[in-house]
């Protein structure tokens, strides 16, 4: 049985990763699981300069989901290099994949250029889709032409695997994925969060200081699976699926839908040990259903 997943010129040891923004840079989860058992850690978004993020409240619960408007709060590229990379370098088999977030096209390019010399970093997940940053990436992520163009420029800067993370807030996510593929992406990951809002009726104002936030959690799982299914049938590069995964069975839904790898996001907050257990559950399923590689999942459903 082979759980490895090929992306670009490299492999992930298992399809199970943890989603950007839900796992910090890993440290906080060490008490709960063996980080090196994961396929990949997608870090909290990294921007060129440190960001404080949005005012609080940044979080509100919704039925089987949550909204967040963290606002890409992060330490910035320099502190990431000096403080986080040394810690993450201790991992031997788990891929460390920074999630790259810019306010401008140039910022994306600068970030990849700056981080590329660090061998500890396995590749990049390019966040073209965060709905919480004003004047931010939303524009990129919804326009195929811009997605293709920025992907091509990033492609020229690095040989490492380049994963383009897609927004679900679009009419046709598959067409954005095709643009990323055309630009030279090694994989696409989806879904980022959906734009949502909760209004505090007593205070007569949006509950989040940022007004809107990004919806994630079990509530969005059927949307993530449907978009994965559609996208996997539209591109030849691997699709990394996420949205509402809570257990091996949810992960297997994504694999059967056509994903080559998956990420656990919000559920890390609820059951911090989960991501460490899913690979075992996938293995048990593969045994029971006589599947020998992850690619075998993709022949089950047409």
Partner 1 sequence: MNDASVTIVQNTEHSPTFRELSFTWDASLGRPRAGQFLELRLPGTTAPLLRRPFAFSAYDEENQTASFVYEVRGTTTQLLSTMEPGMPLQILGPLGNMFHAKTKGVIAVGGGIGLGPILYAAHQLSPHHDLTLVTGYRSQESIPYSLYTPSCPPSICTDDGSAGVKGNVVEYLESLPQERFRDTTILACGPHPMLAALASFSNAVGCTCLVSMEEMMACGIGACMGCVIDRTDGTKARVCKEGPIFNSGEVVWT
Question: Is residue 89 involved in binding its own copies (CB under 8 A)?
Answer: no
Cα–Cα dist 241/254, whole Å: 6
299 annotated to bind ligand: no
Cα–Cα dist 27/48, whole Å: 22
Q: How far apart, in Å, are the Cα atoms of 211 and each of 65, 133, 183, 201? A: 17, 12, 34, 13
| Binding map of ligand FAD across residues 182-201, x = CB under 6 A, - = no contact | ----------------x-x-
User: Which of its own copies, ligand FAD, partner 1, none sits in contact with 76, Cβ below 5 to 8 A by type?
Assistant: none
User: From the CB of 11, what's the least distance to ligand FMN, in Å?
Assistant: 22
The tokens describing 296, both together, are 């075998």
Tell me the site size for partner 1, rule CB under 8 A.
Answer: 36
User: From the CB of 64, what's the least distance to partner 1, in Å?
Assistant: 4
Candidate list 130, 175, 247, 300, residue with the active-site label: 130
**Residues in CB range of 200: below 8 A, 6 or more apart:** 206, 207
> How many other C-beta atoms are found inside a 10 Å radius of the C-beta of residue 205?
11
CB nearer to partner 1: pick between 68 and 234: 68
Question: Is residue 53 classed exposed, middle or buried when 0-12, 13-18 and 19+ CB atoms within 10 A define those classes?
Answer: middle
Cα–Cα dist 125/164, whole Å: 6
For the stretch 154-177, what's the b/e string if a residue is b when 16 or more beta carbons lie within 10 angstroms of its beta carbon? beebbebbbbbbbbbbbeebbebb
Helix (H) or strand (E) holding 239: strand 239-242
User: Which of partner 1, ligand FAD, ligand FMN, none sits in contact with 109, Cβ below 5 to 8 A by type?
Assistant: none
User: Which of partner 1, ligand FMN, ligand FAD, none sits in contact with 198, Cβ below 5 to 8 A by type?
Assistant: ligand FAD
End-to-end Cα separation, the chain, in angstroms: 23
35 annotated to bind ligand: no
In the range 49-108, which residues lie near ligand FAD by CB under 6 A? 60
In the range 8-67, which residues lie near partner 1 by CB under 8 A? 21-24, 28-29, 31-32, 44, 52-53, 56-66
256 annotated to bind ligand: no
**H helices present in 120-219, as ranges:** 138-142, 144-157, 173-182
Active site residue 130: yes
Cα–Cα dist 63/219, whole Å: 7
Inter-axis angle of helices 221-232 and 173-182, nearest 10: 50
265 annotated to bind ligand: yes
Residues contributing to the site for its own copies (CB under 8 A):
62-65, 67, 142, 169-171, 194-199, 201, 204-206, 211-213, 215, 217-223, 225-227, 229, 244, 249, 252-253, 256-257, 285, 289, 300-301
Enumerate the active-site residues. 130
Residues placed in the known binding site: 20, 44-45, 68-72, 99, 127, 165, 191-193, 217, 243-244, 265-266
Residues contributing to the site for partner 1 (CB under 8 A):
21-24, 28-29, 31-32, 44, 52-53, 56-66, 68, 70, 73, 217-219, 246, 266, 268-273
Residues contributing to the site for ligand FAD (CB under 6 A):
60, 198, 200, 207
Residues placed in the known binding site for substrate: 44, 68-72, 127, 192-193
């Amino acid at each position: 049985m082979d759980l490895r997943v090929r992306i670009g010129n490299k492999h992930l040891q298992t399809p199970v990763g943890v989603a950007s923004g839900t796992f910090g840079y890993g440290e906080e989860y060490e008490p709960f699981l063996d980080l090196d058992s994961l396929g990949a850690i997608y870090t909290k978004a990294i921007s060129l300069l440190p960001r404080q993020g949005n005012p609080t409240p940044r979080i509100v619960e919704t039925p089987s989901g949550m909204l967040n408007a963290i606002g890409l709060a992060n330490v910035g590229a320099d502190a990431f290099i000096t403080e986080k990379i040394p810690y993450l370098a201790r991992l031997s088999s788990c891929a460390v994949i920074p999630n790259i977030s810019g306010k401008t096209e140039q910022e994306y390019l600068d970030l990849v250029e700056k981080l590329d010399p660090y061998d500890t970093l396995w590749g990049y997940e390019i966040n073209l889709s965060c709905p919480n940053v004003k004047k931010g990436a939303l524009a990129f992520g919804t326009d195929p032409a811009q997605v293709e163009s920025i992907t091509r420029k990033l492609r020229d800067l690095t040989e490492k695997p380049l994963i383009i993370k897609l927004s679900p807030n679009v009419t046709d996510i598959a067409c954005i994925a095709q643009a990323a593929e055309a630009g030279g992406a090694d994989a696409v990951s989806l879904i980022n969060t959906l734009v949502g809002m909760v209004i505090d009726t007593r205070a007569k104002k949006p509950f989040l200081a940022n007004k809107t936030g990004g919806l994630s959690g079990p509530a969005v799982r059927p949307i993530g699976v449907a978009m994965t299914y559609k996208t996997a049938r539209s591109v030849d590069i691997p699709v990394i699926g996420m949205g509402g995964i809570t257990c091996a069975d949810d992960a297997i839904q994504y694999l059967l839908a056509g994903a080559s790898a998956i990420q656990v996001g919000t559920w890390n907050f609820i059951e911090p040990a989960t991501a460490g257990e899913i690979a075992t559950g996938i293995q048990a399923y593969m045994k029971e259903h006589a599947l020998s590689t992850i690619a075998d999942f993709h022949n089950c459903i047409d």
